[in-house]
């Protein structure tokens, strides 16, 4: 089940993941399945109620490309700036433009336990920034201007009732 705003789990800073175990592998599989079923671009573990630093991203435009799984991801470089529309599985039905870096270099462990830096551009770079934010308890609505935040509160919280 995907937690939705204002669930407090979404505001907790997620914990560092230790060595790879079967449990972690299962969790990653579960995250990919949950993300795919919900037609999401990305998912952070705390969105399904597990406070650990794992993100999955539906990376490719090609159908056969595997989703990206990153354990303990760290953004080590950000470049450029662009505005684009974002949504979030934890904030269903709400979309708004957010300013993000155009390029991001992220380091993290993959499912094969190898530590790799990955260079991301465009939508992938945006998704990585959005998902790493989740691990730090940050939602994309936090990046909105005060006026848009007010709008969000009125629209979204009204629908929640």
Residue nearer to Zn ion on the CB measure, 12 or 116: 12
How far, in Å, CA of 75 to CA of 123, rounded?
15
Nearer of residues 115 and 142 to Zn ion, judged by Cβ: 142
Cβ closer to Zn ion: 41 or 71?
41
Instruction: Residue 7: count other Cβ atoms within 10 Å of its Cβ.
Output: 14
Closest approach of Cβ 113 to Zn ion, in Å?
26
Q: Which residue in 81, 115, 131, 159 is the catalytic one?
A: 131
Minimum CB separation of residue 46 from Zn ion in Å reads 10
Closest CB 87 distance from Zn ion, rounded Å: 8
Q: Which of residues 96-155 bind Zn ion (CB under 5 A)?
A: none
Rule CB under 5 A: which of 31-90 touch Zn ion?
88
Of 57, 60, 56, 64, the residue nearest 24 (C-alpha): 56
Alpha helices (runs of H) in the chain, residue ranges in sequence order: 22-37, 122-135, 146-160
Known active-site residue 96: no
State the Cα–Cα distance between residues 111 and 136, nearest whole angstrom: 21
| Pick from 98, 104, 96: nearest CA to 82 | 98
List residues near Zn ion by CB under 5 A: 88
The catalytic residue positions are: 131
């Amino acid at each position: 089940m995907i937690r939705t705003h204002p669930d407090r789990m979404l505001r907790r800073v997620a914990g560092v993941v230790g060595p790879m175990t079967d449990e972690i592998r299962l969790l990653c599989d579960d995250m990919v399945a949950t993300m795919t079923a919900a037609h999401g671009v990305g998912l952070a573990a705390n969105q399904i109620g597990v406070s650990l630093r794992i993100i999955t991203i539906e990376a490719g435009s090609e159908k056969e490309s595997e989703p990206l799984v990153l354990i303990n991801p760290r953004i080590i470089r950000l470049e450029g700036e662009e505005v684009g529309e974002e949504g979030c599985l934890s904030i269903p039905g709400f979309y708004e433009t957010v300013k993000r870096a155009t390029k991001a270099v992220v380091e993290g462990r993959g499912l094969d336990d190898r530590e790799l830096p990955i260079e991301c551009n465009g939508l992938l770079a945006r998704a990585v920034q959005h998902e790493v934010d989740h691990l730090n308890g940050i939602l994309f609505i936090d990046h909105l201007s005060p006026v848009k935040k007010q709008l969000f509160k009125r629209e979204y919280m009204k629908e929640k009732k």
